[in-house]
Amino acid sequence: MQAISRQHHSNESDGTTVRIAATPDQTWALDADYLYKRLEVLKPLGSHYVNRIWMLDLISDILLVSGVLSTFFVVWWACIPLVGFGCLQRVANRRMAGELAGKAAQESTDAFLYLYNSGALWLERPTSPASDRARRLQSR
């Protein structure tokens, strides 16, 4: 299985969705925005995941504050790259929350079931009967 991060565009939510490809025809999806907003869901998977995201959020906040302060003390245009990097870091943190949960789900069945039961993980594309050998043998 491999985790693939993509932007998810649907009518329900315009958030970041991380997809986990289990087989060529089966794809599981993780809602990274849900995990980022509720870091307590990630805590049972590993407290180091939550600590990593908090640390990167702190770095993002420092970049944003230093961008605003550099406008007053350095030059006016210095805020543009610093605020830009801070915003990009925040978006990357959201994606990282989903990728870390996807990695945990791939490594542990308990983590997979926990994420599925919490509503953060769902089956996006089910396996087609033609590609699954066990079902192909049963269907004949």
More confident residue, 37 or 138: 37
CA distances from 87 to 70, 82, 137 (A): 16, 9, 51
Is 98 part of any domain? yes
Is 72 part of any domain? yes
Global pTM reads 0.72
Is 113 part of any domain? yes
Q: What is the C-alpha separation between 55 and 105, in angstroms, rounded?
A: 23
Q: What is the mean pLDDT of residues 116-139?
A: 68
Is 123 part of any domain? yes
Is 88 part of any domain? yes
User: pLDDT of 113-123, one tens digit each?
Assistant: 999 999 888 88
Phi (first) and psi of residue 5, to 5 degrees = -100, 130
Residue 96: give the domain boundaries. Answer: 2-127
Query: What rounded mean pLDDT belongs to the chain?
Result: 82
Is 132 part of any domain? no
Task: Give me the number of domains the chain comprises.
Answer: 1
Is 140 part of any domain? no
User: pLDDT of 38-52, one tens digit each?
Assistant: 989 889 988 899 999
Is 19 part of any domain? yes
* Confidence bin at 9 (pLDDT 50/70/90): very low
Q: What is the C-alpha separation between 99 and 139, in angstroms, rounded?
A: 36
